[in-house]
């Protein structure tokens, strides 16, 4: 029996799942993780916290994750200077689940979500899963976002949800906060700024606009990238408390396990130390970009922990050449380009050595 034999929803037939290859190779630079593992102190703290909640695993977790949301609010307020409370925060299993809950509440059948492509490939997949019509809108040829044009398109198309990824995955550029205003003002519905890579960016967060657009703006974040907590699965958002009320209508009860909540809180206590790697990674990103440029590649300027580069006649074949040299990078489906995540200096050196051999 095969998938095609099942009574699957018609609109899911023929689709392919999200699938970054998970391969055992020496240098893994394909999913934009932080290459530095948690410190011994952090690991010990997570273990201690988890041991404590393990004694109560017969009970459901705090359904509203109140303590974790307060910790996230404290972190976000501290790092942005924008006062936020636990009522402004919501958390889920990765920001993918956050985005899914947003579309469950504000998208759905008969509704449309619009995004500026190329961008994060899960946005249209989550739209499909929630039966939200997807309206792809192109970026400029250099992958930057023309926010004036974007505002015009949004005013014309009137989508229920707009996604702006900043810094954008897989291209790396971020949008100046002030340029977002016109877009938010033009939008009749919700605007989701996906800030998964915000800690790597030199620009201020869109949370600065929350007070001005409480009925429209949602800022989505994750602990998977700069926070080095991808395996822990913790995404969150900042928005007006009423938006959080809306998401509670669609979230599954007890979606965030007691183990996840405990581990995330322990990890947040070590935020300063973990985020110490951000400056190092940003410097490595600039070194990698410059070295690639020096080798004659076209490099898209990046404000995140990855770099999109090209031009390749056959990006798939080049991706394979890297893999043969023990370096796993990402073919994101952008014509002529590949994306590399910034790793440790040693990993980046291995990638650059392979780049010299692979050529263009």
- Span near ligand PMP by CB under 6 A; candidates 90-98, 237-245, 325-333, 336-344: 90-98
**Partners of residue 274 on adjacent β-strands:** none
Applying CB under 6 A, among 147, 171, 201, 224 the residue interacting with ligand PMP is: 224
**Contact criterion met (CB below 8 Å) for 109 and 250:** no
- Which CB atom, from 96 or from 267, has the smaller least distance to ligand PMP? 96
**205 near ligand PMP, judged by CB under 6 A:** no
Is 169 among the residues that bind ligand PMP (CB under 6 A)?
yes
Q: Provide the terminal-to-terminal Cα distance of the chain, rounded to the nearest Å.
A: 43
Of 94-102, 105-113, 134-142, 148-156, the window that binds ligand PMP (rule: CB under 6 A) is: 94-102
Structure tokens at 290: 């410059």
User: Could you say whether residue 173 binds ligand PMP (CB under 6 A)?
Assistant: no
User: Which residue number, 197 or 322, has a Cβ lying nearer to ligand PMP?
Assistant: 197
CB-based contacts of 264, cutoff 8 Å, min separation 6: 68, 71, 91, 223, 229, 232, 234
User: Is residue 28 a contact partner of residue 230, using CB atoms and an 8 Å limit?
Assistant: no
For residues 44 to 83, the per-residue mask of contacts with ligand PMP, x marking binding by CB under 6 A and - elsewhere, is ----------------------------------------
Contacts of 17 (CB under 8 A, 6+ apart): 125
CB neighbourhood size of 146 (10 A): 14
How far are the Cα atoms of 143, 283, 322 from residue 292, in angstroms, in the given order?
18, 14, 14
Question: Which positions from 1 through 40 interact with ligand PMP, judged by CB under 6 A?
Answer: 32
Rounded Cα–Cα distance for residues 160 and 154 (Å): 10
- Enumerate residues 233-272 that contact ligand PMP by CB under 6 A: 235
* 319 lines the binding site for ligand PMP (CB under 6 A): no
Among 34, 80, 88, 96, the residue binding ligand PMP under the rule CB under 6 A is: 96
State the residues that interact with ligand PMP by CB under 6 A.
Answer: 32, 94-96, 120, 165, 169, 194, 196, 222, 224, 230, 235
């Amino acid at each position: 029996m095969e998938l095609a034999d099942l009574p699957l929803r018609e609109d899911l037939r023929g689709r392919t799942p999200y699938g970054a290859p998970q391969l055992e190779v020496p240098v893994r630079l394909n999913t934009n993780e932080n290459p530095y593992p948690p410190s011994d102190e952090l690991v010990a703290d997570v273990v201690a916290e988890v041991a404590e909640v393990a004694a109560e695993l017969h009970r459901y977790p705090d359904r509203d994750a109140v303590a974790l949301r307060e910790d996230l609010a404290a972190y976000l307020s501290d790092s942005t200077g924008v006062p936020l409370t636990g009522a402004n925060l919501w958390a889920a299993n990765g920001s993918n689940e956050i985005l899914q809950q947003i579309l469950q509440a504000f998208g759905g059948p008969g509704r449309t979500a619009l995004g500026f492509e190329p961008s994060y490939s899960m946005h249209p997949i989550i739209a499909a899963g929630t039966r939200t019509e997807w309206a792809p809108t192109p970026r400029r040829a250099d992958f930057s976002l023309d926010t004036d044009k974007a505002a015009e398109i949004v005013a014309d198309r009137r989508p229920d949800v707009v996604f702006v990824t900043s810094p954008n995955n897989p291209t790396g550029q971020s949008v100046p906060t002030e340029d977002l205003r016109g877009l938010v003002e033009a939008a009749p519905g919700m605007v989701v700024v996906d800030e998964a890579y915000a800690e790597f960016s030199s620009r201020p967060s869109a949370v600065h606009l929350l007070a001005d657009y409480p009925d429209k703006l949602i800022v989505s974040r994750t602990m998977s990238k700069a926070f080095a907590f991808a395996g822990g699965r913790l995404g969150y958002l900042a928005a007006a408390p009423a938006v959080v009320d809306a998401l509670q209508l669609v979230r599954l009860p007890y979606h965030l396990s007691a183990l996840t909540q405990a581990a995330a809180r322990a990890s947040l206590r070590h935020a300063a130390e973990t985020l110490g790697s951000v400056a190092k990674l940003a410097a490595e990103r600039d070194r990698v970009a410059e070295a690639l440029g020096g080798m004659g590649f076209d490099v898209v300027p990046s404000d995140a922990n990855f770099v999109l580069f090209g031009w390749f006649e056959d990006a798939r074949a080049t991706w394979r050449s890297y893999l043969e040299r023990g370096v796993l990078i990402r073919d994101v489906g952008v014509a002529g380009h590949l994306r590399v995540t910034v790793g440790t200096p040693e990993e980046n050196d291995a990638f650059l050595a392979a780049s010299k051999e692979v050529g263009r």
